Chain A
């Protein structure tokens, strides 16, 4: 029986259609689809290592519509780390992250100790870019969180996104590698501890 308390819970937020599900499914299943099925709430589980033992990474993919505020509050209070996704092709989608970020601050309080990654997805669609990566970076600085651009479609930076997020967790050592060994990249990141924006 999976141990509930041992779970490390990551919650993915962002406006409808920015590619939250695509990122999660690319990471969990390695697949991508062009068609769009709006999400209500899905949760995927993966075994990872945590403080040298095994634990479950629980990734909750939320809805982009604002229909269920109570569900959103519940996932925030249960979540350990957050991924805030916008699409680089939509300035509006970056705007829509603000209330979510504020709600996380409100519910979680000490925001700096909580791993949060701001993600600009769909960076394969450069021709339709509305948000420069420098703008994303600036926003991340303001929010005291990390930043990355990704593409679920081309599988750019997807695994890295999740690994970086886990690296930001300072209260325990969580890693995608089950053998407990740290990747080079991970060690490098640990040296950068304290720096907020990791590119």
Chain B
């Protein structure tokens, strides 16, 4: 039964201490709850946080840390060992690529004494099941990891007749492997970009994006001609350029002459940057009103941004017609959809962007993009409103919307609106703020206190702690916390894995899990008026050029300040 007994784990003939340590911790997964190696005290920044297992330290970069399931029964739900398993499943990618993590299940260490086959198999199964359950559909994106799982699965299948005791686990394994393997039938191309959001699809419920999803995207030329290409979400800049070159019938001579195309992102403000050919999945990281341009090196300097999408003529948008409750509820409903699309491991993967070949964090990025979009939307709507009285009325309405979002426990929309109203181009509108009823002035002051970052966002954290799921947190703060955890302490030292750090990171992810543990149900009618509000909320058109916002602000209230 090689899936347990295979005595490998010998990278260059030696056992890595990190692996040994981790193994000891994971050994504790056994129902006996036996903790090896003085496990409970691993302070993040304590005096002696690292502990080896007696094996001399090796090259710390030999991250051959190894996960070996302990001898013993399946972990009991709700015990610390289960959370340890969860810690490691969620965060292993910080020190070990998923594929190698899984390989460890094939290769327990040689020095284990023989004769405890069943218990070890049970432990391997426990890890594998938890892994599959956590990753689920995300594994379709990981070919090599998928291969390891398949191999392991086949080995386990071969053994089923020998181990009737494992029947329950194996049935569960069947089911999980099936969900992982089954690709959704004929994937549809998903319109990702702003210019396609205007079509009917904006009303459909959002589903998660995966790297292999095909999307449409527009690539502009220096003269603002554009081609729409179909591309994998995870496509590299090189792939995108190849499609554009082919479409434009760009001849090989042209490329050979050094006129090869480069891909550039350009914001509405005119800020531009050249993308490196090897860069991947650039689509979701673009700014709100940014566009991709293909040009030759010598036309780069002359590139000008597309004209502002939004017409700077005051016209009544939906915000003036819609009821604040409806706008708020549609914001919450949409942001809940976006929040739900984010896979748990995206939070972990986001932490070390750029450090290693990264996995897709598209859904998280889209939520961040949306958060900034809402901030700009608030300012855009106010600044497009010329009449002072009407503007003050709109300001009141926006504060009301923020209040309802807060009631909905949608702290993301709430935060975004408050930040948007705090934008210098808005806060300088003295006349407008003066016209606001006292009650709303006070309310907004309260909101500012709640979002005050002082003492590490103490007020907000306290409010959040009192909320029961479902809720939508202010996601950027979670990312800030995670980044802080990641940068505040090393993951590996002398080849040892900082298990406590993994635990802290996993705790943050578990908090997200808790927020989403119950469905969010808002009662939204499907009347035409409601659909109009819904469509409006889901495809906000905003000015994201701060200079332009200021310009409008000074035009409205020149003397303010």
Contact = CB atoms under 8 A, between A and B. Distances in A.
A42 B248 CA distance: 10
Contacts of B247: 37, 42
B229 A43 contact: no
A68 to B, nearest CB: 7
B214 to A, nearest CB: 11
Interface in B199-243: 199-200, 216, 223-230
B225 A45 contact: yes
Contacts of A68: 199
Interface string B136-160: 0000000000000000000000000
Contact of A40 (B199, B200, B229, B246): B229
A29 interface: yes
Contacts, number: 41
Contacts of B228: 39-42
Contacts of B224: 2, 45
B315 interface: no
B198 interface: yes
A70 B307 contact: no
A1 interface: yes
A29 B247 CA distance: 12
Q: Which of B196, B227, B229, B246 has the most CB of A within 10 A?
A: B227
B306 to A, nearest CB: 8
A43 B225 contact: yes
Q: Which of A4, A33, A39, A74 has the most CB of B within 10 A?
A: A4
A44 B225 contact: yes
A42 B230 CA distance: 12
A192 interface: no
Contacts of B246: 37
B249 interface: yes
- Of the four ranges (under 10, 10 to 19, 20 to 34, 35 or more), the interface on chain B belongs to 20 to 34
A100 interface: no
Contact of A70 (B200, B229, B248): B200
A70 B249 contact: no
Interface string B275-314: 0000000000000000000000000000011010000000
A25 interface: yes
A42 to B, nearest CB: 4
Interface in B252-276: none
Contacts of A31: 249, 251
Contacts of B223: 2, 45
Given A29-B249, A37-B246, A40-B216, A70 B227 contact: no
Contacts of B249: 25, 29, 31, 33
A68 B229 CA distance: 15
A37 B246 CA distance: 9
Contacts of B307: 1-4
B140 to A, nearest CB: 24
Interface string B182-203: 0000000000000010111000
A71 interface: yes
Nearest to A7: B224
Contacts of A2: 223-224, 307
B227 A42 contact: yes
Contacts of B200: 70
Interface in A45-83: 45, 68, 70-71, 74
Contacts of A40: 216, 228-230
Given A40-B230, A44-B225, 17 more contacts: A1-B305, A1-B307, A2-B224, A3-B307, A25-B249, A29-B248, A29-B249, A37-B246, A42-B225, A42-B226, A42-B228, A45-B223, A70-B198, A70-B200, A71-B196, A71-B199, A74-B198
Closest 3 CB pairs of A and B: A70-B199, A40-B228, A42-B227
6 contacts: A31-B249, A40-B216, A42-B227, A68-B199, A71-B199, A74-B199
